[in-house]
């Protein structure tokens, strides 16, 4: 199944448009620059670091679209933290905190924002997610891919 995105605009006008397929009644734009990732099968990999000062950094790399080495555009993907390897039990998150490392951005959602939100990669497809925990626990990062698959990290264990 391919990733598909559809947008509906009331009125749009374009001076210059390059596209494979466009259906519109009226389009208006001064300047639009877009890197096509749509329809691409994306992959994901995780590299879990070691615990230091109650923090573990996991390097996340999204591959595909442009090439395995470079995405050519930032990618935003929903994520959640689970307490099981199957990704079926949402972590309560009482002792943990999530932050972005040197690569990417983490946007925590409202409500129980300690355990789900959106990860935004750099144009290279890289993102560092730092989990800080003062307790003893094991977590798993689950990233929901555009085609609905869920990529799950190895266990992130705090001792």
At the topology level of CATH, where does 43-158 sit? Immunoglobulin-like (2.60.40)
> Cα(130)–Cα(121) distance, rounded to whole angstroms?
14
User: 51, 156 in Cβ contact below 8 A?
Assistant: no
The per-residue pLDDT for 56 is 98
The per-residue pLDDT for 73 is 83
Averaged confidence pLDDT in the chain: 78
Exposure of 132 in the CB half-sphere (CA atoms within 13 A) = 6
- Over residues 127-147, the pLDDT tens digits come to 999 999 998 999 999 999 998
The per-residue pLDDT for 94 is 77
* For range 63-73, the mean pLDDT: 64
Residues contacting 103, CB < 8 A, separation 6+:
59, 121, 122, 124, 126, 127, 128
Q: Which one, of 124, 128, 78, lies nearest residue 105 by Cα? A: 128
- Over residues 80-107, the pLDDT tens digits come to 999 999 999 989 877 889 999 999 999 9
* Of 23-27, 28-32, 120-124, the least confident: 28-32
Q: Please give the residue that has the higher pLDDT: either 71 or 108.
A: 108
> Cα(116)–Cα(95) distance, rounded to whole angstroms?
15
Domain boundaries, the chain: 43-158
Q: How confident is the model at residue 36 (pLDDT cuts 50, 70, 90)?
A: very low
């Amino acid at each position: 199944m391919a990733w598909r995105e559809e947008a509906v605009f009331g009125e749009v006008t374009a001076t210059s448009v390059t596209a494979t397929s466009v259906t519109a009644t009226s389009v208006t734009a001064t300047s639009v620059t877009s890197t096509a990732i749509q329809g691409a099968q994306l992959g994901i990999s995780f590299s879990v670091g070691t615990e230091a000062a109650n923090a573990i950094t996991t390097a996340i790399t999204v591959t595909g679209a442009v090439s395995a080495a470079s995405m050519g555009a930032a990618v935003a993907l929903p994520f959640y933290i689970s307490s099981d390897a199957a990704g079926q039990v949402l972590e309560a998150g009482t002792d943990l905190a999530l932050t972005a490392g040197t690569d990417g951005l983490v946007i925590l959602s409202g409500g129980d924002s300690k355990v789900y939100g959106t990860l935004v990669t750099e144009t290279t497809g890289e993102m560092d997610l730092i989990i800080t925990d003062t307790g003893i626990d094991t977590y798993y990062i689950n990233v929901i891919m555009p085609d609905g698959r869920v990529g799950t990290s190895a266990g992130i264990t705090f001792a």
